[in-house]
Structure 1
Amino acid sequence: MLLSTVLVLAVSCVAVHSFKCCVPDQWEGVLGLTEGLVQNGQPAFVQGYVALSYDYTNKRVAEYVNLTTQGVPTLQKIIIDYNKNVMYTIKEEAKYCRAVQPAPPLSRCVPDTARETSRFHLGAGNNSLKVIAYEIDVPDMQITAVTSMTAQDCLPVGELMYGAANNVPFLASMGYVNIVPGIKDPSVFNVPSYCDKAEINDVPGLETGNFITSYIHRRLGFFQ
């Protein structure tokens, strides 16, 4: 998914950021993504979108994932409940449900160790949006992310990620669109009844070959 707005670089610097940027308590939006990776010596290409519902107040995240990997589509819903410490991966047509412990979440705020790399705006004149970009290292996942957030309200704009997950190198570009405050329909967090039979696996929920959503789970945990 491409942003059609014009990107204008206003100020460029490399420094540790001096103010706290924390996402709102509740919001929804759509994340478009494109990812390239090399697995077992073979290149692979992933593209698609994730519809997100983020609820810090009730410590939960819902995702509708629509990805295509080498032409093969994947449709699934993911619900993370940090109150119960469980992440459900749901395929509704097959009535399939897998339950695992979610990976430990990052802070819901841009970490103090993040390096501010640039300030810029999207659009022009009265239609411009001020944005701040940060570089964030995630050592336990061998990932570096350059994250762009709005200067006001600290909403995600885009993200460039590179590194390795499960020893698989990858490069990914993501953009957020149609963000709105609040949760329109709380039923997005409802877990289907057939998930009651799913035993919770104590292996952290890093889906093999799905490194982007694994990192999104970490970034959207935000519950520390």
Structure 2
Amino acid sequence: MLTFVAIAFLLGATIAAPVEDPNTSPCCTPMQWSGTMRSMVDSVIDGKLSTTNQTMMFYYDYNNKKTATVGKGFRVVGDYNKMVTYTIASGTCTTSKLTEPLLNCVPTTAIFLGSYQYGGPQGVKVNEYSVDAFAPNIKGWISYTADGCIPVRETVVITGANPSANSLDFIDIVPSIKDPSIFDVPSPPCPKDTDLDNVVGVPMPRGSTFARLP
């Protein structure tokens, strides 16, 4: 098992000192991986600060172009073959269109920020990139292990009238998926393939390279 512990910071800062890394070209993650994902969201609405925390399981399968996020009482399946996402909770299923393809590699538009060592000389070395192409008012930072390109952390900051910051930490990642049925979508309650033409697009900014949350 590959274990990576990432510490979330509001604006993607890190206490680790940068180290030199001659290989700064964008890397590609394993074709399949899974593990624990922790989300911390800080948002300001009408001048009031709100903080939420979730611990979920996340499954990524680039071979079959699918992702799954499983939390307490819900499961979100992204099917990038059909470009549809299914949110299954409390016996109901809601669908929306996916507007962007599933990514496997660090985006070519990402800017390399530096390499960092977590946990001292025997720790984990990661490469960090800045991604400002989500939307005009969204900035993002993504970190991967220098060895293996395993996702470590994403931080997304949204500015504007109701600003927010979302940190995703990927922990205990393994380069496999033990139970592929996690991507199965029950029908009912979800619509059949023949009914997917009626799925509507829900306007929403891209907030993460991998995960979609309810």
Q: TM-score, normalised by structure 1?
A: 0.76
8 Å Cα contact 1:34/1:172 also seen in 2 = yes
| 2:130 corresponding residue in structure 1 | 135
**Rounded Cα–Cα distance in structure 2 between residues aligned with 1:83 and 1:141:** 28
Q: Tell whether 2:119 aligns with 1:119.
A: no
**Rounded Cα–Cα distance in structure 2 between residues aligned with 1:41 and 1:124:** 39
Question: Cα–Cα, structure 1 residues 183 and 139, in superposed 2: closer, same or farther, change >3 Å?
Answer: closer
8 Å Cα contact 1:95/1:194 also seen in 2 = no
**Rounded Cα–Cα distance in structure 2 between residues aligned with 1:79 and 1:108:** 17
Q: Tell whether 2:192 aligns with 1:189.
A: no
- Partner of residue 147 from structure 2, selected from 119, 142, 152: 152
8 Å Cα contact 1:61/1:81 also seen in 2 = yes
Q: Which runs of 5+ in 1 are unaligned?
A: 67-74
| 1:105 corresponding residue in structure 2 | 101
Question: Cα–Cα, structure 1 residues 164 and 88, in superposed 2: closer, same or farther, change >3 Å?
Answer: farther
Aligned residues: 196
**Rounded Cα–Cα distance in structure 2 between residues aligned with 1:204 and 1:122:** 38
**Rounded Cα–Cα distance in structure 2 between residues aligned with 1:157 and 1:163:** 20
Q: Tell whether 2:28 aligns with 1:34.
A: no
Alignment of 1:1-224 (within 5 A): 3=6, 8-11=16-19, 18-66=24-72, 75-91=73-89, 94-105=90-101, 107-125=103-121, 127-140=122-135, 142-164=137-159, 168-197=162-191, 200=196, 201-204=199-202, 206=204, 215-216=207-208, 219-220=209-210
Question: Cα–Cα, structure 1 residues 155 and 205, in superposed 2: closer, same or farther, change >3 Å?
Answer: farther
8 Å Cα contact 1:103/1:204 also seen in 2 = no
Q: Which runs of 5+ in 2 are unaligned?
A: 8-13
The one-character-per-residue Cα deviations of 1:137-178 (angstroms, maximum 9, x if unpaired) are 13436311111110011111112221149x631012221101
8 Å Cα contact 1:120/1:130 also seen in 2 = yes
Deviation of the 1:12 alpha carbon:
7.3
DSSP-derived class of the 1:193 partner: coil
**Rounded Cα–Cα distance in structure 1 between residues aligned with 2:159 and 2:78:** 24
Paired letter, 1:86:
V
> RMSD across aligned C-alpha pairs, in angstroms?
2.8
